Structure 1
Amino acid sequence: MWIDRLLQKQVETACLSRPAVLVTGARQTGKSSLLQRMFPDADYITLDRLVVAAEANENPGRFLDRFKGQTIIDEIQYAPSLFRELKIRIDENRTNYGRWVLTGSQRMQLIKGISESLAGRIGIFQLETLSAKELRNAPEIADASVADCLWKGGYPELWANRGIDTEAYYEDYIQTYLERDLKSLIQVSNLRDFQRFVQICATRIGQLLNYTDMAKDVGVSAGTIKSWVGALEASGIIYL
């Protein structure tokens, strides 16, 4: 089951006037699925695979040479060398609109790369989890209860496949996040402490952020909590 995203029209419009477009957002918000559905004829490559990311980062020119038409590059933050090479290619033809369609799940790293190389050349969009309006607009799930929405949250896969165990999904999500994204942002010596920190964050939604109180609950320093909060914010898991 596909659920239409409100961001689609904005991205389509940007592709008519910008040579590059970037869609950021936390993992599993549907960035890749949305773009592949919007541009079914575009080449697609993901840098989630270490060997592919290494190739792109070590020789960005040769890597991009293989793509002749519109191209979707997924998780581009894993190959920061691509930003400068993309700048060169975009400047060669600034009117080739929608040529490069990029995604990434670590916003801080992406913005840094863009500000240094692609400023003024790219449209930037943030894809959040499913909104209440998007859920209501989907006929198959428009009658979902408030309790069901609160329990499942807004990750599209949980709604597209109603048979998925929600609790198991989030356990797997956290584990994947710890293994993939967290290691590239900060050093965590004790993963159990970090998992406890994530749980405490969940219980404090909508409250004032107090690093000292959270540090006492987790058993680490306030400085560590501040660093961990920054990592969650950088990867789109929380918003302050």
Structure 2
Amino acid sequence: MFLDREIRNLLLKAADQFPVVVLTGARQAGKTTVLQNLFPHYRYVSLDLPSLAEQAERDPETFLSANPPPLIVDEVQYAPGLFRHIKAAVDRNRHSNGQYILTGSQHFILMKNISDSLAGRAAVFELENLSIIELDKAGIFPTKGKGLYRLLCRGEFPELWRNQTMDSNTFYTSYLVTYLERDVRQILQVTSLRDFERFIRLLAARSGSILNKTDLAKDVGVSSKAINDWISVLQASGQIILLEPWFANFGKRLVRSPKIYFRDCGLLSFLLGIDETILDRSPFKGAIWETFLFAELRKTDAYREGQGRIWYYRDQNA
């Protein structure tokens, strides 16, 4: 079952206006499914396959010759050398729009290459997990009884709603292992994956709270530098978001501590060991609700033109 996404019109419009369209988002957010349904006539190549990524990186000209536009390149960050050659190909036919659609699940790495090579040539979007609007349009928004609790604990990854018989604990266990083994090792040389997993779970207990890196480093038993690096990894791969505070003085927004949120309430619930049967009496109930509501606010804002900005506000009495 294909779940229609609110981002569809933005992507279709961008493909008519820009030579390159870039879609970022966490793994399993549905990037590939969305693009293959919206652009069925495009060739498709995934650099998730190490052999293809190596080929694209080693000989990008031959790779692009063998895969002419219109082309979707999935997980393009695995071949950073490809970007300069895509730029050259676009510049040879600059007035032709929708030539390449690129996806990536490592946002910072992808955006660095876009900024270096494709500035002014690419429209960039981020795909979030499913929203309640999208679930409602598909007729599967769980509103009856404890259905909303099920949503909070199951989360909004598309695969969990395309296949509602799938066990969410199995999904998140696999997701976490894959994430640790692939993305963490790819972005950062973590000396102990066990320490990193403990860090993720301790960070989950802080979702919706002001981030105190010193306390977190003490609880995990690592340096503050390691915490900074690991938070950057989670941001880069779309697992968390840092929400800056609002101050009338713009400079203060940049120096005061942000709040930390996991992007998906289901992954958060899994990391906290909470399911729908115990959510109502869990001390993390409020944090899970806040994480969910912030995610819905972001999605509503992201998929409309003329996006706003979101901050959190805290006065001296809070």
TM-score by length of 1: 0.97
Match of 1:24 in 2: 24
After TM superposition, list the pairs within 5 Å mapping 1:176-187 onto structure 2. 176-187=178-189
Which residue, 159, 164, 175 being the options, matches 1:157? 159
1:81-96 to structure 2, matched below 5 A, reads 81-96=81-96
User: Please, which moves more after superposition, 217-226 or 9-18?
Assistant: 217-226
Q: Is the 8 A contact 1:48 1:78 kept in 2?
A: yes
Q: Does 1:228 align with 2:220?
A: no
Residue 141 of structure 1, CA deviation = 3.4
Quote the residue 1:9 is aligned against: 9
Identity %: 45
Name the counterpart of 1:141. 141
Q: Secondary structure at the residue paired with 1:125?
A: strand
Q: State how far apart, in whole Å, the 1-side matches of 2:156 and 2:94 are.
A: 37
CA distance in 2 between partners of 1:236 and 1:196 (Å): 18
- In structure 2, distance between residues paired with 1:5 and 1:201: 30
RMSD, matched Cα: 1.1
Larger CA deviation: 141-150 vs 226-235: 141-150
**Among 191, 194, 217, the residue aligned to 1:192:** 194
* CA distance in 2: counterparts of 1:143 and 1:16, whole angstroms: 38
Displacement of 1:142: 5.3
Structure having greater relative contact order (Cα 8 Å, sep ≥ 6) = 1
Looking at structure 2, the residues matched to 27 and 200 of structure 1 have their Cα atoms a distance apart, in angstroms, of 22
Q: How far does residue 68 in structure 1 lie from its aligned partner after superposition?
A: 3.0
- The answer to whether structure 1 residue 68 and structure 2 residue 68 are counterparts is yes
Give the SS at the match of 1:73.
strand
Q: Is the 8 A contact 1:130 1:155 kept in 2?
A: yes
Contact 2:132 2:141 in 1 (8 A): no
Superimposed CA distance per residue, residues 154-195 of structure 1 (whole angstroms, 9 cap, x where no aligned partner): 110001100111011111101001111111111111111111
User: More deviation in 5-14 or 92-101?
Assistant: 92-101
> In the aligned structure 2, how far is the partner of 1:159 from the partner of 1:30?
12
Which 10-residue stretch deviates more, 91-100 or 139-148? 139-148
1:112 aligns with 2:106: no
Q: Which letter does structure 1 place at the counterpart of 2:208?
A: G
Q: Secondary structure at the match of 2:241?
A: coil
User: Is the CA contact 1:42–1:71 (under 8 Å) kept in the aligned structure 2?
Assistant: yes
Confirm or deny: 8 A CA contact 1:32 1:74 kept in the other structure.
Answer: yes
Alignment coverage as a number of residue pairs: 240
Say whether the 8 Å CA contact 1:136–1:143 is kept in structure 2.
Answer: no
- Which runs of 5 or more residues in structure 1 are unaligned? none
Which digits, 9 at most, give the CA deviation of each residue in 1:95-130, with x for residues without a partner?
221110110011111111111110000110000111
Structure 2 unmatched runs, 5+? 243-318
Cα distance, 1:138 vs structure 2: 1.5
SS of 1:149's partner is helix
Deviates more, 1:137-146 or 1:166-175: 137-146
SS at match of 2:97: coil
CA contact (8 A) 1:70 1:99 kept: yes
The yes-or-no answer on 1:34 pairing with 2:31 is no
Query: What is the aligned partner in structure 1 of residue 214 from structure 2?
Result: 212
SS of match in other structure, 1:123: strand
Q: What displacement does 1:219 show?
A: 1.5
CA distance in 2, matches of 1:182, 1:169: 18
Measure how far apart 1:140 and its partner are.
3.2
1:43 maps to 43
Following the alignment from structure 2 to structure 1, what is the Cα–Cα distance between the partners of residues 68 and 114?
22
User: How far 1:233 moved relative to its partner?
Assistant: 0.3
For the 8 Å contact 2:29–2:158, the answer to whether it is kept is yes
1:53 partner amino acid: A
Write the letter of the residue equivalent to 2:204. A
Counterpart CA distance in 1 for 2:68 and 2:230 is 41
Larger Rg: 2
Q: Give the stretch that moved more between structures: 221-230 or 7-16.
A: 221-230
Partner of 2:172: 170
